[in-house]
Structure 1
């Protein structure tokens, strides 16, 4: 049966079934054989762009989908409210991750329960693959809830690489939360997420076992604007203070390691380095303007008060005001217009992927472009560094380093990098 995308559906699957798997996971069907279904990812994530799942896993997945099961928005995983199961994909963080051969060193708070568990602590030995999987499980005192780390179920089957028509079957560890009570999808996911975060935190601080939930890191398709490299290598002319040079270099190093929000903060600190000098320069310029005024009279108190007021306003300037002054003084309006004339796929629009920050409208005649940019840069900086649990900040929550927003900061990185370069060059 042909699909709407031109790929042939497998004969033993209905078109609607394949579409259901696509919708539940954010995948796009490509092709199939007798044993595997091949899908492409709709977004660039931490996983491969193309991979396969076994036909058997697809059948289990379809059964869950028919009961209302499906993937999550914020995390890699699966929610089956009717079965009372939430399963999260997890990362094993460094050498602190538990190995199957060492799982029997721990004791587990396990009690009889009514849930169906495929594995029992402390480990599962896969004789075919010659691999030992750790199995951790704890049970609540009322025996109604179990939290478990064990090999993934078919519901959380990852897309596996397919090489030379062969695939390496693997079952990475996932965190499963089993409930006796049958709850609505949103409620069961909320409860499971709270338990998962608590369990992983205590594994870390009490047992030195390091795992973390895998966020669904979806990157939007943003046009990249490569700046042609200058072919002339010259003797250096631009003086760069050591602190600014180190911060600028750090932003590149962090970016290469997908440093995300740390990359942004390093570039912001480059700007911050120049706040005092530029602010003093602006304050002196304003005082000189007053002194040059035709009606200035050093013998009149009102004239002297103008100087004092100007200095006081300068001394009391907020960080946001200092940033605006820096951009107005060091970055030309033409350079800003050139940057925003490029196609950024709507990133800086009001409906862009980053919430809680000022949109940029180069055609706004009521507010200078430098002022709009300064607001956005400062608001984004605040979302990264402020993690206050306060209702006053509910409309602009902390930007978490593993969030989808953090993964979509690319155009803001490019903007901040351009600003940092312009400020460094201007301050010679």
Structure 2
């Protein structure tokens, strides 16, 4: 971009306009440099990286904001009620062979009133020398279109400045594909949001299920990680003493990988799976111990039916114990209350009544219920929120906890809790 063009770009955006764009992206410190609107994201540790978008894209975003467009709350993308338009950023999952075999596809496309840059199956970008998928379908009445194609200026990737070509004003990277929903015209915001979400979910499901074209909507995640307070780990590395089977060692290594990828629900379930694998043995051990106590009792008499019935009733109750009851017994037997009190004291807000995870019991150290019992109830309730369908009447009061949702991004203290339980269960059951 020439110096004259750069100066023209700088004049075209006032400080108020630059501030509006920065607020929309929840970023700060905005300036224009060499034809780019430059942001600095909130600090994460010692890392600070300048990111930006071409000023031309910034102008388009500003025009959309001025007509009432907003960023989506739960997903990366924009909603523009005045145009009846929603654009979601999408990610490809695994291999996607659409471009290679694009000539073999047919599309249910009809004449419509919307403006489209190209027709299926592909879109060629001359500036970037890049071929992108162009997938589009139209409703039978021609009122609605759904399209996956190269992003509009609204969803221009905010890219590290070093990845921009200053001669062309274009990102050197290929950018990103987005899913666009075009409704007939101006639409009430809540209706547009609901309809677009339903159409996007259905369309992506069918692309994957019918055509093996796996896309997913990109969840909108907070800039700063939500981390728990943890006791300081040991700095003394010793020769191993804990007997661990190959299966358990493998299971214990898996959650860290999910955690690194930001999928805290799968990390949680993986640690829970470790605990669950020990529940039958712990429950059987407790049942046998209870029977032995009865037999050793001074009033036990094997010649009396009443004594035998006590044993049978005890075994019957044990046999019918629920998963929640078995988990409670495991926590009571394997995890010390002192350790749990220390952990919860470091994260009292998260585990309290005003914590960010809904539909699970809070932890109250001052209640008459044991800390182990409260812990087991919370862990089991959270497990049910993740794995049970929301239309299951047994769990109707708890909304399903979706992976990569806003709520799931706050799950790390609960992941650390179930990790603590898993470790103590492993150590107590060599």
| TM-score of the two chains, using structure 1 as the length reference | 0.87
Q: Counterparts of 1:140-155 in structure 2 under 5 Å?
A: 140-155=139-154
Distance 2:163 2:134 in 1: 32
1:246: Cα distance to partner?
Answer: 2.8
Equivalence for 1:356: 359
Matches within 5 A, 1:88-107: 88-96=88-96, 98-99=98-99, 102-107=101-106
Aligned residue number for residue 5 of structure 2: none
Q: Which moved more, 1:261-270 or 1:140-149?
A: 261-270
Give the one of 314, 337, 344 matched to 1:340.
344
Deviations 1:209-249 (A, max 9, x none): 22221111336432464744544431x33222343233223
Partner residue of 1:71? 71
5+ long unaligned stretches in structure 1: 1-9
Alignment pair present for 1:309 and 2:313? yes
Aligned equivalent of 2:227: 222
The CA distance in 2 between the partners of 1:102 and 1:227, in whole Å, is 54
Contact 1:330 1:422 in 2 (8 A): yes
Counterpart contact for 1:87–1:156, Cα < 8 Å: yes
SS at 1:380 equivalent: helix
2:217 alignment partner, one of 205, 213, 224:
213
Aligned mate of 1:275, from 272, 279, 283: 279
> How is 1:29-428 mapped onto 2 (pairs within 5 angstroms)?
29-41=29-41, 50-96=50-96, 98-99=98-99, 102-163=101-162, 169=171, 170-218=174-222, 220-223=225-228, 225=230, 227-234=232-239, 236-342=240-346, 344=347, 346-361=349-364, 363-390=365-392, 393-428=395-430
For 1:69 and 1:316, the matched residues in 2 are separated by: 56
1:341-379 Cα offsets, whole Å, 9 max, x none, are: 32x483222232322122223x22321111111111111
Alpha-carbon distance between aligned partners in 2 of 1:383 and 1:297, rounded to the nearest angstrom: 47
What secondary structure does 2:351 align onto? coil
Mapped to 2, the partners of 1:253 and 1:132 lie a distance apart of 33
Instruction: Kindly report the root-mean-square deviation, in angstroms, between the aligned alpha carbons of the 2 structures.
Output: 2.7
- Partner Cα separation in structure 2 for residue 38 and residue 417 of structure 1: 41
Return closer, same or farther for 1:149/1:266 CA change in 2, 3 Å cut-off: same
State the Cα distance separating 1:30 from its structure 2 match.
3.9
1:17 maps to what in 2? 17
Correspondence for 2:3: none
Closer/same/farther in 2, CA of residues 121 and 192 from structure 1, 3 Å limit? same
Q: Deviations over 1:85-137 (max 9, x none)?
A: 111101122222533x6434322222211112223333222222211222222
Distance 1:292 1:34 in 2: 86
Report the secondary structure of 1:238's partner residue: coil
Count of residues in correspondence between the two structures: 412
1:22 Cα deviation (Å)?
3.4
- Asked if structure 2 preserves the Cα contact closer than 8 Å seen for 1:21 and 1:62, the reply is yes
Stretch moving more, 59-68 or 74-83? 59-68
Farther-moved stretch of structure 1 (15-24 vs 151-160): 15-24
SS in 1 for 2:197: helix
Per the normalisation by structure 2, the TM-score is 0.86
Shift of 1:413: 1.7
Distance 2:308 2:210 in 1: 65
Secondary structure, counterpart of 1:265 in structure 2: helix
